[in-house]
A and B are shown apart, each in its own frame.
Chain A
Amino acid sequence: MRASSLLLIGLVACKTEVGYGTYLCGVEQDCPDGQACNGPDNRCVHPAVAIPFACEPQDEHEPDDVAADAFALPEMACVSQPTLLSGCLHAGESEDWVRFDVPAACTAVVARMRLSYPLAYEDVQFEIADADGTVLEMETACDASDTSLEDLGILAKCLKRTVTPGASYTIRVKTDGALSCGGACAFNRYKLSVRLETPQP
């Protein structure tokens, strides 16, 4: 009887027990069985308390769906600290536009851009364009030092481009259109940082 009890206890101890809120949502809002992705913080929680994804008002910069309506970043110096923008692509919205100006007094300037977003929802891409929205260059993979947040469920993409002093540029942030989750999670929030710096020889 005692051996049977120990065996039973051992088997019970081997049962999978993943507590609520212990994991971040995976790709396409993936969570352990019996849990659901919580929109505000991307955590796997009890389905009864899970809140659907929604863009926060402060992250919306509408209208910004075309280059002409691009949301303007604050003015930056020739060598600047990163300017951070929190944005959100709500369901059904395919792209946001952001504009920045390069000071005319600079001699040589490089713009460093970085876009980060949760992997739980639809994949997000970005590209740099001129003031009219003509695409100049696509994103690339970040250096190893810029991917440190992947373990926290945050993906990042980067872009570095020499820009002309006195010119204006736009950044197009868009979903990849792959309709992740079968289209059920065609939205995402993102953080875009832009920094101007002197090019290294």
Chain B
Amino acid sequence: MTWTLVASLIGVIGPTRARADRVGPEIPEEPEPVEPGPPVVDPDGPDTPDAPTPALPAPADPEFERPLRPTIPRSRMADIVVETPGERSPTNITVLVGLSTLALASGLLGLHFHLETKHATEAVNADTFTGRVWMPADQALVDDAARDRTRTIWLYGVGGSLLVGAIVTLIATDPDSTITVIHPRAATSSPTIPTISPVAGGAIVGTGWQF
């Protein structure tokens, strides 16, 4: 009788436990033998001589017969890593925007003088006889071109330096990200303590699991 009850409990709990384990990661492992199907309970117990031979369980559903997924020990579950990107401070953002803006402004101003220089030089540059007289206005264009060219070089240089500074600052002040590791923990594996409750004519054996 007692064995029948134990077997009955195992038969009921077994499939449930297997289904609960299916949610875990799939790791190849030796499948644990699981008893299929609920047995037929003999109310008189196995020690009754005239008891009919318990009928063998009918062939189970093939779906149910397939090997169940292995149970993964909690200790082998992978850690969950959560990376939280760091945030820049308002001051840092202000510095970066300021440097970039200044670099852009210097570049645009340099481009303006660059075009002015280009215009002036194109007006006087020549490599063949022009038939024109060299006038004071031409010399003024040359002087303007030289002055604007110097400005262009300076502004491009300053703009480029500011841009490099902005990039270096961007990299150097990159805030560290916060990494959080979550260790999946199995429920406390307290020893399964069977409970035996005497009843008339026998006893009820029980125990408990966590899913």
Hey, which bits of chain A sit against chain B, CB under 8 A? 4, 7, 10-11, 13-19, 21-27, 30-33, 43-44, 119, 151-153
Q: Chain A interface: which of B13-21, B138-146, B175-183?
A: B138-146
Residues of B within 8 A of A19 (CB): 126-128
Q: A26-B133, A32-B139 are in contact. Are A11 and B153 (CB under 8 A)?
A: yes
- The 0/1 profile, CB within 8 Å of A marked 1, for residues 118-160 of chain B is 1011001111111111111011001001100100110010001
- Please determine whether A11 and B126 come into contact, CB atoms closer than 8 angstroms: no
Complex alpha-carbon distance, A118 and B128, angstroms: 21
Answer whether residue B71 sits at the interface, using C-beta atoms and an 8 A cutoff.
Answer: no
Q: A14-B117, A14-B121, A15-B121 are in contact. Are A32 and B138 (CB under 8 A)?
A: yes
- Please determine whether A33 and B121 come into contact, CB atoms closer than 8 angstroms: no
Which of A11, A17, A30 is within 8 Å of B134, CB to CB?
A30
Complex alpha-carbon distance, A116 and B119, angstroms: 34
Complex alpha-carbon distance, A18 and B142, angstroms: 10
Complex alpha-carbon distance, A25 and B160, angstroms: 42
Known contacts A14-B114, A25-B134, A27-B135; 19 additional CB pairs below 8 A are A4-B160, A11-B114, A11-B156, A14-B117, A14-B121, A14-B145, A14-B152, A18-B124, A18-B125, A23-B133, A24-B131, A24-B134, A26-B133, A27-B136, A32-B124, A32-B134, A32-B138, A43-B129, A153-B133
Query: Could you count the A-B residue pairs with CB atoms below 8 Å apart for me: how many are there?
Result: 81
Q: How many Å from the CB of B106 to the closest CB on chain A? A: 13
Residues of A within 8 A of B125 (CB): 16-18
Q: A14-B114, A14-B118, A26-B136 are in contact. Are A21 and B146 (CB under 8 A)?
A: no
- Please determine whether B136 and A30 come into contact, CB atoms closer than 8 angstroms: yes
Residues of B within 8 A of A10 (CB): 114
Q: Which of chain A's residues has its CB closest to B132's CB?
A: A23
Give the size category of B's interface with A.
Answer: 20 to 34
- Please determine whether B133 and A16 come into contact, CB atoms closer than 8 angstroms: no
Complex alpha-carbon distance, A103 and B37, angstroms: 150
Residues of B within 8 A of A30 (CB): 134-136, 139
- Please determine whether B128 and A24 come into contact, CB atoms closer than 8 angstroms: no
Q: How many Å from the CB of A11 to the closest CB on chain B? A: 6
- Please determine whether A22 and B142 come into contact, CB atoms closer than 8 angstroms: no
Among the interface residues B124, B133, B145, B146, which one has the most CB atoms of the partner chain A within 10 A?
A: B133
Which of A15, A18, A31 is within 8 Å of B126, CB to CB?
A18
- Please determine whether B132 and A151 come into contact, CB atoms closer than 8 angstroms: yes
Q: How many Å from the CB of B51 to the closest CB on chain A? A: 94
Complex alpha-carbon distance, A181 and B29, angstroms: 106
- Please determine whether B156 and A7 come into contact, CB atoms closer than 8 angstroms: yes
- Please determine whether B129 and A22 come into contact, CB atoms closer than 8 angstroms: yes
Q: How many Å from the CB of B155 to the closest CB on chain A? A: 11
- Please determine whether B133 and A119 come into contact, CB atoms closer than 8 angstroms: yes
Residues of A within 8 A of B130 (CB): 22-23
- Please determine whether B145 and A26 come into contact, CB atoms closer than 8 angstroms: no
Complex alpha-carbon distance, A43 and B156, angstroms: 38
Residues of A within 8 A of B146 (CB): 16
Residues of B within 8 A of A43 (CB): 129
Q: Which of chain B's residues has its CB closest to A26's CB?
A: B134
Complex alpha-carbon distance, A44 and B211, angstroms: 101
Complex alpha-carbon distance, A23 and B134, angstroms: 6
Residues of A within 8 A of B120 (CB): 16
Q: A11-B114, A16-B145 are in contact. Are A26 and B124 (CB under 8 A)?
A: no
Complex alpha-carbon distance, A32 and B133, angstroms: 10
- Please determine whether B121 and A16 come into contact, CB atoms closer than 8 angstroms: yes
Which of B121, B128, B153, B160 is within 8 Å of A22, CB to CB?
B128
Q: A15-B121, A15-B149 are in contact. Are A25 and B133 (CB under 8 A)?
A: yes
Q: How many Å from the CB of A35 to the closest CB on chain B? A: 8
Q: Which of chain B's residues has its CB closest to A22's CB?
A: B126
- Contact sample, A vs B, 18 pairs, CB 8 Å cutoff: A11-B114, A15-B121, A16-B120, A16-B142, A16-B145, A16-B146, A18-B142, A22-B129, A22-B130, A23-B133, A24-B133, A26-B133, A30-B139, A32-B124, A32-B142, A151-B131, A152-B131, A152-B133
